[in-house]
Structure 1
Amino acid sequence: MDGIRSVELAAPAGRAGRRGWRAAVVTLLAGTLLLTAACSGGDDSPSWQGGGNGAAASEAPSPEPTLSTVAVTSPAADATGVEAWSDVKFNSEDPENTTVKVTDAKGDEVKGAVDKDENLWRPTESMEWGKKYTVTVTTPEAEGKNNTTTSSFTVMKKPANLVRVTSFLADGQTVGVGMPLIMRFGRAIPEKYRADVERKMVVTATPAQEGVWHWTSPTEVHYRPQTYWKAGSKVFYKVQLKGVKMGDGWYGRSDLTVDMKIGRSMIMTVSNKTKKMTVKQDGKVIKTIPVSLGKPKTPSSSGTMVVIEKKEHTVFDTLDELGPEEGYRTEIDYAQRITWSGQFIHAAPWSEGVQGRSNVSHGCVNVSMAMGKWLFDRTLMGDVITVTGTEEKLKNGNGWTDWNMSWAEYKKGSALH
């Protein structure tokens, strides 16, 4: 063995000498055994040490704890009173390959989308009042790690304060190219909640056309495209406001959808200078009509308006408003309202003699009986009329004046722009 030198021992004389020699040999052999054991180590360790390196080696190693690669951070586990449009937030070591599934008590999946940059799942439909939901978050399997976690929460009970939401238009209607989409609310919506409301009102036009919502008041919001609707377009809008927060303690009552159509293009242009109306259908002039506009004391408004409503026969009564000297009560045929202040396109047989030459009306666009009927039979709610050259400019809000603003100005009325 390396490090051990041979030793020569002389045999002592006599019996006592022999006993001493034998003792020396035994001592030397014992020392050699101990030195050999100390150098061997590893698997050749002495059996009295239990086959390991010391007493501690006899104990089996503890297993490493299983780590989770995903966790739901919001809503908190078993949370109650959760809002119906709440996002689900999660942590993940691999967000790009993480899936999130939210199911109700029956196992039906709630529609939603995962934002992998923000590590959250957003519902695309309202969850039901008072119902319990389970979140399951999963990533690809990783060795020694748990790749799936679940968490549950319960949506708030149906609140007492609900805001009614209505659409001015209904399924199946055909309207003019200037018709705004109009949503009305049963309660004023504070500004800080309007962006969330807009996000839940999605308009789809075929062919596609850029458009935006514009708040005309705290209780009404309109939508128009950048330019007039394309003739023949199909328009579908989905309003998902059930459960959407609309104020402190107030929530949307319901969802709705509207499927409608845009008709042919009809644009009416009235010039005070020429006292004529030019009617274009799908870009082609189909009629030029003599008109009489408002006299200087009661001028017609210059601006772009649309047909709001149509009444084949009605009565104009301004006696209470203007008094017996200026007021009047007159039966009117083929009336088409264009402002809230009382301006109409209508037949006026009493002014036919001056139509095309001078203005004698109280602000309306007067045409003959024949032309009044001709127009009435062809127009749609939402058809456009632009008046130019009068003494008074149209005030925004006096009718559906969505087209009386530039696109840049109109976008400023959106909570999202």
Structure 2
Amino acid sequence: MTVAAAPLAVGACTAGPKSVAKQAEASPPSVTVTPADRTKNVPISAEVGTKVSNGKVTAVKLTDDKGNAVPAQPREDGSGWVPDRPLANSRTYTAEVTATGDSGKTATQKTTFTTMAKSTKPAVTSELYFRPNQTYGTAMPVVLGFDPPIPKEARADVQRRLFVKTDPPQPGTWSWVADGKQAEYRAPDRWKPGTKISVRSALQGLPIGKEAIGDSDRVATAKVGRQVTLDIDNGTKQMTVYEDGKVLKKIPVSLGKESTPTSSGTMVIMEKHEHTTFDTRGEPNGGYVVDVDDAQRLTWGGEFIHSAPWSEGEQGYTNTSHGCTNVSATAADWLMGVTQVGDLVTVRGTEVKLDQGNGFTAWNVSWDEFAKGSALPVPAGLKPTQSATPHPGAVAGGSAPAPAPSRSNSGG
């Protein structure tokens, strides 16, 4: 009997896993949805979280308490669905999530939740420096400014609500300036000309830290134009202008004098003004008010490229400005017709270096250094195909060469 029982025992052990496997294959999917059913005081920034075993989400339906459908989009990682607009305060919503297993069986889970009343907490003001229906240069980062700054412990939650889509796809990452006043998004390489970039900063009602909320949802879609880059060399006192890797023109310049030097670094044209006024009253080394033509901002601190007919005799020879790049009236007018906001500008060989965050400084560091500033993991496969801080003549796309932060209109 003992001998006979042994084969039976062995048979039972080998049959068990097969039976369990068949049962697992036939098991319906299991769905967990957040917010949990009957949750109250949900932020209006809420999204529908989904967690599925033995299957995948095949349908999500979100409706308000009047039965109206609420459009939502899935996250790329499948972890949830984000409403296209913030939810309304003090309203009830129902989410119905359906998942389908490999066997074809389905499971549906419902949850009903109620949003919080309008918050009395102070709002963090955000400014999106990426305007709709514009054409930008190939180095234009998507830039958000914050006032007050975002504390480190809140940056991951904020970053998860910042969405960028590109067509054709050029994935990138967000990176935070150390003081939390600014976050910038770029890809490892400059944008390819013709790329369409769509941005949503979905921060309205988002809890930020313990004492604040996000102020607004902001959206913009723009496109990338031709590639123009400017290389400014203090050693030669010359600006070299490139288009698609080819030299268009060399322009004599006068940079900042010793007491007010121009910053060396890789920056981006931020604004363009046919006419503006530099008012430096109350600033160190300032005290003057002057009207200027054809001014292009490079830093929040007030460094511009601009027309300076008063220094044309020094341009190409001597630095006489208060930190700006002075060019002739003719050259400044020509540049205004060639450049775009978002064009790369590199200044070399001056006495001081550009501070990170003083302008759109996403290209002033290597890709690896930039990626370290992300509050969320960055995919390991994202790497530049060219120098992380490219030579001005390098062609975008990786081919070989051929609130807002405090701003100043000091100029000079």
TM > 0.5 between the two?
yes
Separation in 2, partners of 1:148, 1:341: 56
2:357 to 381, 397, 410: 397
Which structure 2 segments of 5+ residues have no match? 1-27, 378-412
Separation in 1, partners of 2:305, 2:282: 22
Q: Structure 1 residues 389 and 127, CA, compared in 2 at 3 Å: closer, same or farther?
A: same
Separation in 2, partners of 1:86, 1:267: 41
* RMSD, aligned CA: 3.5
Separation in 1, partners of 2:48, 2:220: 27
Give the structure 2 partner of residue 357 of structure 1: 317
* More helix per residue: 1
Give the structure 2 partner of residue 314 of structure 1: 276
For residues 100-249 of structure 1, what are the structure 2 equivalents within 5 Å? Answer: 101-110=61-70, 122-125=80-83, 126-136=86-96, 150-161=110-121, 162-216=123-177, 217-248=179-210
The answer to whether the 8 A contact 1:299-1:363 is kept is yes
Instruction: Give the AA of the match of 1:298.
Output: T
Give the structure 2 partner of residue 263 of structure 1: 225
For residues 80-95 of structure 1, what are the structure 2 equivalents within 5 Å? Answer: 80-84=40-44, 85=46, 87=48, 94-95=54-55
The answer to whether the 8 A contact 1:271-1:277 is kept is yes
Number of equivalent positions: 341
Residue identity (%)? 43
Q: Structure 1 residues 108 and 353, CA, compared in 2 at 3 Å: closer, same or farther?
A: same
The answer to whether the 8 A contact 1:205-1:233 is kept is yes
Separation in 2, partners of 1:359, 1:110: 60
Instruction: Give the AA of the match of 2:251.
Output: I
Give the structure 2 partner of residue 61 of structure 1: none
Q: Structure 1 residues 242 and 177, CA, compared in 2 at 3 Å: closer, same or farther?
A: same
Instruction: Tell me the TM-score normalized by structure 1.
Output: 0.70
Which structure 1 segments of 5+ residues have no match? 1-67
CA drift of 1:359 comes to 2.5
Using CA pairs below 8 Å that are at least 6 residues apart, which structure has the higher relative contact order? 2
Instruction: Give the AA of the match of 1:275.
Output: K
SS in 2 for 1:404: coil
SS in 1 for 2:259: coil
Q: Rg: which structure is higher?
A: 1
Q: Structure 1 residues 127 and 294, CA, compared in 2 at 3 Å: closer, same or farther?
A: closer
Q: Structure 1 residues 72 and 135, CA, compared in 2 at 3 Å: closer, same or farther?
A: farther
CA drift of 1:315 comes to 3.9
SS in 1 for 2:155: helix
For residues 309-388 of structure 1, what are the structure 2 equivalents within 5 Å? Answer: 309-318=271-280, 320-322=282-284, 328-388=288-348
Separation in 2, partners of 1:269, 1:139: 55
Counterpart check, 1:280 vs 2:280? no
The answer to whether the 8 A contact 1:111-1:123 is kept is no
Separation in 2, partners of 1:100, 1:318: 56
Separation in 1, partners of 2:124, 2:169: 31
SS in 2 for 1:402: coil
Separation in 1, partners of 2:74, 2:243: 47
Give the structure 2 partner of residue 63 of structure 1: none
Separation in 2, partners of 1:367, 1:263: 25
User: Bigger CA drift: 218-227 or 184-193?
Assistant: 184-193
Instruction: Give the AA of the match of 1:274.
Output: T
For residues 11-90 of structure 1, what are the structure 2 equivalents within 5 Å? Answer: 75-84=35-44, 85=46, 87=48
Per-residue CA distance 1:218-268 (angstroms, 9 max, x = gap): 343222222222222211112222332222253334323201122211101
Instruction: Give the AA of the match of 1:191.
Output: K
Q: Structure 1 residues 289 and 192, CA, compared in 2 at 3 Å: closer, same or farther?
A: same
CA drift of 1:401 comes to 1.9
Instruction: Tell me the TM-score normalized by structure 2.
Output: 0.71
CA drift of 1:172 comes to 1.0
